[in-house]
């Protein structure tokens, strides 16, 4: 089999006789002549109960070309023609693969460094937050204690209550002295110095009370400020963690790694299917282009033949109809059944072996699924142009 799988046009002398006896629609009207075509003989159909056409053998899923990015170079081919392969098998290596692998390693290392740095910054911020939370709790406890102390000092028997009582007594005594000083009977007994001394006592008591009350309230205010400061420190560390994540660029690095992995994938020649290496079209050391595949693969476990049928004969063909496929390049006739009939109509692509045949007719593709016992020989002749005979309903008088 040619490694390039060029289309092979082979037809027996019987087909030329058949085409010579065709009417203006290209259909067989001479049963005795038609009987000489190997495909019809193998089909065993009654005269007029078969349609003959040109077709081509191929895998049911087609031939898959393996290509690489333009401008790259094939470093090595690790398979041979005819080798059976599995999906995921390495078929070869491109020259850019090593550079892409190194580039990916560097990108991953940078990502890992950024992740480690971010984790360290997060750990430091978390530690600071924990310290701030402890300080916050201590400040709250200090405020609660200061409030309780103030309440206790202002309650009966408390320090502030006693100071307030002393101030009240001193003020009452000062009031009494002043009243006595203005009394005619007792005024001579009250000296100005005694009033001044009592006034001093009142002022001292008031000052001591005010200082004690201010100290208590200041402790509460300082505790509240400490709470506010601890809360702000916690928030600042939380924002620091968020800012560190944004500044780390880890998400961008991840996208870059993803892109590099995709690029690396294009440098690896990996089989996407289970199948066979049909041909190797590029040698190691050659550069790649957009048009030349490196190799071609196919799953040959299921084979088909694409027959080009004259549109006027399509109504005579049914899904499941028997078909035979012959060529001088095939030892024995291949057998199969009609699998599908295309809805698309166009000009035939396969050249007729008869140079005098009409070219202005319209055709549609009929897919013949080749039987399992004929798959092996069919797989040896991929893209071979063949003669195909398909069982069909006899022509009606209206179609002649």
Find, among 61, 42, 63, 59, the residue nearest to 305 by Cα. Answer: 59
Q: Which residues pair with 284 in a beta bridge?
A: none
Range scoring the smallest mean pLDDT among 112-121, 171-180, 242-251, 385-394: 242-251
Tell me what the mean pLDDT of segment 345-358 comes to. 83
pLDDT number for residue 174: 85
Q: Look at residues 109, 103, 78 and name the one whose alpha carbon lies nearest to residue 264.
A: 103
- Residue 322 phi, psi dihedral angles, 5° rounding: -70, 150
397 — pLDDT class (breaks 50, 70, 90)? low
pLDDT higher than threshold 60 for residue 80: yes
pLDDT at 195 over 50: yes
User: Distance between CA 115 and CA 330 in Å, rounded?
Assistant: 64
| Mean pLDDT calculated for residue range 348-358 | 81
DSSP H/E element including 360: none
Cβ atoms of residues 160 and 212 within 8 Å = yes
Q: Where are the domains of the chain?
A: 8-61+299-399, 101-254
CB atoms within 10 A of CB 185: 7
Q: Which two tokens stand for residue 233?
A: 């420190």
Range with lowest mean pLDDT among 53-67, 258-272, 324-338, 359-373:
258-272
CA distance 21 to 44: 20
| Cα–Cα nearest to 369, from 323, 311, 318, 308 | 323
pTM of the complete model: 0.59
pLDDT tens for 48-57 read 789 999 999 9
Between β-strands 50-59 and 268-270, what pairing exists: parallel, antiparallel or unpaired? unpaired
pLDDT in the model for residue 23: 36
pLDDT digits (tens, 9 = 90+) for 139-155: 888 888 888 888 888 88
State the residue for tokens 């095939």.
330
Assign domain 8-61+299-399 one CATH number from 3.40.50.300, 3.40.50.720, 2.40.30.170, 3.90.1150.10.
2.40.30.170
A 10 A CB-CB count for 213 gives 17
* pLDDT, position 391: 94
pLDDT at 171 over 60: yes
Partners of residue 268 on adjacent β-strands: 93
């Amino acid at each position: 089999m040619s490694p390039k799988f060029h289309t092979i046009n082979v037809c027996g002398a019987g087909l030329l006789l058949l085409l010579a006896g065709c009417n203006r629609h290209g259909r067989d009207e001479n049963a005795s002549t038609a009987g000489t075509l190997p495909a019809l003989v193998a089909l065993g159909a009654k005269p007029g109960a078969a349609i003959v056409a040109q077709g081509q053998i191929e895998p049911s899923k087609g031939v898959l070309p393996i290509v690489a990015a333009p401008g790259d170079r094939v470093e090595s081919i690790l398979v041979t023609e005819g080798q059976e392969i599995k999906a995921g098998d390495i078929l070869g290596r491109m020259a850019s693969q090593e550079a892409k692998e190194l580039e990916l390693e560097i990108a991953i290392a940078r990502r890992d460094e950024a992740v480690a740095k971010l984790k360290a910054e997060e750990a430091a911020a978390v530690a600071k937050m924990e310290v701030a939370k402890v300080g916050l709790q201590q400040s709250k406890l200090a405020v609660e204690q200061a409030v309780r102390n103030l309440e206790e000092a202002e309650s009966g028997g408390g320090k502030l209550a006693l100071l307030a009582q002393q101030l009240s007594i001193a003020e009452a005594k000062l009031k009494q002295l002043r009243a006595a000083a203005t009394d005619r009977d007792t005024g001579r007994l009250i000296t100005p110095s005694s009033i001044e001394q009592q006034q001093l006592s009142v002022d001292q008591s008031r000052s001591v009370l005010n200082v004690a009350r201010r100290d208590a309230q200041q402790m509460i205010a300082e505790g509240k400020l400490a709470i506010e400061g601890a809360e702000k420190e916690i928030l600042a560390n939380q924002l620091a963690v968020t800012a560190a994540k944004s500044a780390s660029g880890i998400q961008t690095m991840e996208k870059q790694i993803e892109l590099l992995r995709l690029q690396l994938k294009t440098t690896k020649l990996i089989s996407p299917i289970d199948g066979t290496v049909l041909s190797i079209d590029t040698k190691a050391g050659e550069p790649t282009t957009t048009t030349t595949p490196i190799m071609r693969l196919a799953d040959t476990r299921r084979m088909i033949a694409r027959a080009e049928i004259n549109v006027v004969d399509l109504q005579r063909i049914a899904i499941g109809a028997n078909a035979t496929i012959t060529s001088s390049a095939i030892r024995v006739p291949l057998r199969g059944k009609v699998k599908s009939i295309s809805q698309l109509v166009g000009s035939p692509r396969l050249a007729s072996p008869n140079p005098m045949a009409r070219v202005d007719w319209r055709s549609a593709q009929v897919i013949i699924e080749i039987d399992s016992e004929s798959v092996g020989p069919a797989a040896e002749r991929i893209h071979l142009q063949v003669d195909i005979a398909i069982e069909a309903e006899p022509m009606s008088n209206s179609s002649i």
